[in-house]
Amino acid sequence: MALAPDIPAPRGDLGLFPPEREIPVDEKLSWDIIIRLRKWALRSHLSRRRLVACVRAARGSLRDLSPDALRAEAQARGVRLGQGPLTARGLADVMATVDEALYRARGFTFHDNQLQAGLVMASGHFAEMATGEGKTLTATLPIAVHALVGCGVHVVTVNDYLAQRDAEEVTPILGQLGLSVGCVLHDMDLEQKRAAYACNVTYCANKELVFDYLKERARWDRPSPLAYRLQLSGLGEEFRGTPPLVQALDFVLIDEADSVLIDEANIPLILTEPVDDTLSEAFVAQAIDLVARAPDDVWESADALGYRGLRPEALSRLIDGLADPSPEWQSLAIAEEMISKARLAQDKFIRDVHYIIAEDKIVLVDAQTGRPTPDRTLPWGVQQVIEYREGLEISSNRAVIAKQSFQNYFCRYHKLAGMSGTLREVRQELTKTYATPVARIPSNRPVIRKRLLRRLFTSTEDKIDWAIARAEEMASLGRPVLIGVSSVLLSEQASAALSAIGRDHDVLNARRPEQEADIVASAGRAGRVTVVTNMAGRGTDIKLPPEVKAAGGLHVIILDALESSRLERQLFGRSGRQGDPGSYDVAHALDEVELQRILGAGTRRLIAALLRLSERLTVPLHFHYVEWSRRRLERHRRRRRWKLLKSEEKRNDLLVFTRAG
């Protein structure tokens, strides 16, 4: 990761500029004061105004150039930019060609706030742009700047659907500048992926990129940096004829940066292979039964995230109570681990909330995106417990080949930038962990979205009944309605309630990912009701016809206590985009699964009692307390992410030492 804002220098013939860089945490914390000042100067309002003025002044000056001449001019300006330190004026020269390319491809030019975002991202910042401000098109500015200089550019988003959609949208623009665009998808074969990674700009999902990187490093057991550089340049033998699939880690631009770098930072990406070592069904069944009937005093108090471990002195007592223990119970280490995993599966994994069953397999549902993740599995023990519980075949154990976290991987790039509509809450962690400050970008037009109602119910049934009536009310006004929930289960309950009253509607959840494009395309029609999970939260642009805008725009009903306020902002941010009218409601039920993760049982009972006394006073108190609890949980998660990063860096140091020896 480049700590300086400048463009990464091109590699020489021998590849002596390392293809990737690892920066210890301590180095990230001690930036040079000059680098800090330069980054501050580039993101300052003065630099932003200067760049916008320069690009505006240049508009029309390139209009008479032929397509070939425009490409040649863009390439020449890119070469000049790479020959010195990065300045707002130098960036403006290159961005003027991107502005012209956008005009030729789409018939309009960049807004001033998009040019400002292009400046801060090109200088190595995260840009917080409000939802609906055109982040996909804005990204072409820093992308083109670095690609024209000759850097390898990876554009990372949260799933294949968004990667393919964005790549298709920017290809005509970047093509005007002579830049090729590739898109890596999960179902591609090796040669298709190799061709996509060889393009000037490569769009891909975060998991796909890191897994491709892991597979290559596992294949070659990660040679030493010098040997690796020689192999990349063609002087080494090991990679001759088959260069690494993922290379040129020069510049990465991350869309929905908080989702990729924060929400998924605790999830290690693990490359595994099956081993002939399967747990017996009797052992798994006995562990489930032990957990179900174990008294409360054998468990430790819950930690800040709600996990309860087994008291060490209680293990033998539980095993002695088994009538016919399977052989695995003879190992106390395996026994303790299995009981803990069975308890975790019981408390934390609910069908149609955290996973679904598809083709007789467990398919996890991503809590942040609401999407199915068929290639992701749970840790040893938890996976087998859930499979037995659901009557599925118990999978074999798997041996770890390679492991990588998103935190560690993205720190290998020489320069990192990103964008999202919800960075405010995590700006300090992003700056601390990735040495990349956050810059806030003003909206092009004032946001006129309104929050209308906040409601609190004692039961999910009452909450759904209210939401259906509210949706009918808004739809009768000619407004489209988006009912947002956190789980497949609740989306299907809401769908059943809508069907019961004869309301035509769509459902977008993890069971129907292939229909996403069609459902989103029709969600903005007058009177349309759409039930969505978090799948519709990030990157979803719902187009509104003029009559819908005149009726008040899209109305969003958030029907769950989402895990973080950022997820909530993403969901209600589907309305009121680019100055359009819009509104939203929020409703919670005290018995809902998501709220149980945020509030303890005693707190929920107290709120229920207060609700019976005074709804007017209790509802705002409840929502303030939920927000406070979210911030407290986020602090605990932040500490866990930091510990994970530190431990991974120590592990890497030990591995390097071991190989060197």
Question: What is the edge-to-edge ordering of all strands in the sheet holding 201-205?
Answer: 181-184, 201-205, 153-157, 251-255, 415-420, 126-128, 438-440
Average pLDDT, whole number, for the chain? 84
Tell me if 148 sits within 8 A of 171, measured CB to CB: no
Report the alpha-carbon distance of residue 592 to residue 457 in Å, rounded: 10
Residue 25 CB burial class (10 angstroms; 0-12, 13-18, ≥19):
middle
pLDDT at 539: 61
Portion of the chain with pLDDT greater than 90, in percent? 41
What pLDDT was estimated at residue 289?
Answer: 87
β-strand 355-358 against 361-365: which pairing, if any? antiparallel
CA dist 496 and 587 (Å) reads 18
d(CA 154, CA 199): 10
Q: List the one residue out of 209, 261, 205 whose CA is nearest residue 637.
A: 261
Structure tokens at 61: 């000056």
Residues 466-470, mean pLDDT to the nearest whole number: 97
pLDDT surpasses 60 at 535 = yes
For 182-207, the three-class secondary structure string (H helix, E strand, C coil) is EEECCCCCHHHHHHHHCCCEEEEEHH
pLDDT in tens, 188-212: 998 999 999 999 999 999 989 998 8
Task: Specify burial of residue 33 (Cβ count, 10 A radius: 0-12, 13-18, 19+).
Answer: exposed
Local structure of residue 277 (DSSP, 8 states): -
| Stretch 53-69: mean pLDDT | 93
CA-based nearest residue to 422, from 256, 264, 602 = 256
Identify the bridge partners of residue 529 per DSSP, sorted by sequence position: 481, 505
Q: Which residue has the higher pLDDT, 245 or 5?
A: 245
Under 8 Å between Cβ of 399 and 272: yes
Strand-by-strand arrangement of the 355-358 sheet? 355-358, 361-365, 372-373
Going by C-beta distance under 8 Å and a sequence separation of 6 or more, which residues neighbour residue 570? 131, 421, 422, 534, 537, 538
- C-alpha to C-alpha distances, 340 to 63, 183, 287, 294, nearest whole angstrom: 67, 41, 9, 12
C-beta contacts of 61-65 below 8 A and 24+ residues apart: 61/96, 62/96, 62/97, 62/100, 63/100, 63/103, 65/100
What's the pLDDT at 181? 97
Domains and CATH numbers, the chain: 25-269+405-440 (3.40.50.300), 278-395 (3.90.1440.10), 450-598 (3.40.50.300)
Q: Does the pLDDT value for residue 657 go beyond 50? A: no
Distance between terminal CA atoms of the chain?
28
Closest alpha carbon to 535 in 477, 505, 491, 504: 491
Helices (H) and strands (E) in the chain, counts: 27, 18
Give the number of other CB atoms < 10 A from CB of residue 280. Answer: 13
* Residue 223 or 105, more confident: 105
Instruction: Tell me the residue type at 623.
Output: F
Averaging pLDDT over each range in 209-213, 350-354, 451-455, which range is the top one?
Answer: 451-455
CB 421 within 8 A of CB 131: yes
Kindly tell me if the per-residue pLDDT of 466 is higher than 60.
Answer: yes
Q: Where are the beta strands (DSSP E) in 138-227?
A: 153-157, 181-184, 201-205
DSSP summary character for residue 65 = S
Question: 296-305: per-residue pLDDT in tens?
Answer: 878 887 766 6
Residue 10 pLDDT > 90: no
Going 546 to 548 to 549 to 554, the CA torsion angle's sign is negative
> Residues of 194-203 as b/e, b for ≥16 C-beta within 10 angstroms?
bebbebbbbb
Predicted TM-score (pTM) of this structure? 0.83
Question: CA 435 to CA 428: how far, in whole Å?
Answer: 10
pLDDT at 549 over 90: yes
Compute the half-sphere exposure of residue 120: CA atoms within 13 Å on the CB side of its CA: 27
- Picking from 598, 564, 485, 574, the residue whose alpha carbon sits closest to that of residue 262 is 564
Query: HSE (CB half, 13 Å, CA atoms) of 463?
Result: 28
557-595 pLDDT tens trace: 999 888 888 888 888 888 988 889 999 999 999 998 888
Which pLDDT score, from 0 to 100, does residue 185 have?
93
* Mean pLDDT score, 617-630: 94
Q: What is the pLDDT of residues 423-451, one digit of tens each?
A: 988 998 898 888 889 999 999 999 899 99
pLDDT for position 30? 46
Question: From start to end of 321-375, where are the E strands?
Answer: 355-358, 361-365, 372-373
Least confident of 34-43, 61-70, 226-235, 461-470: 226-235
Contacts of residue 152, defined as CB under 8 A and 6 or more positions apart, other chains included, come to: 202, 247, 248, 249, 250, 251
Q: Which residue has the tokens 């960036």?
A: 91
Contact between 592 and 560 (Cβ < 8 Å):
yes
In which residue are the tokens 């997820």 written? 567
* 3-class DSSP assignment, residue 449: coil
Query: Backbone phi, then psi, for 404, in 5-degree steps?
Result: -155, 140
Tell me: the pLDDT tens digits for 145-162? Answer: 999 999 999 999 988 888
Asked if 97 contacts 141 with a C-beta cutoff of 8 angstroms, the reply is no
Closest CA relative to residue 255, chosen from 369, 151, 371, 127: 127
- Reduce the DSSP state of residue 257 to 3 states and report it: helix
Q: How confident is the model at residue 284 (pLDDT cuts 50, 70, 90)?
A: confident
Per-residue pLDDT at 553 exceeds 80: yes
Q: What is the CA radius of gyration of the chain?
A: 26
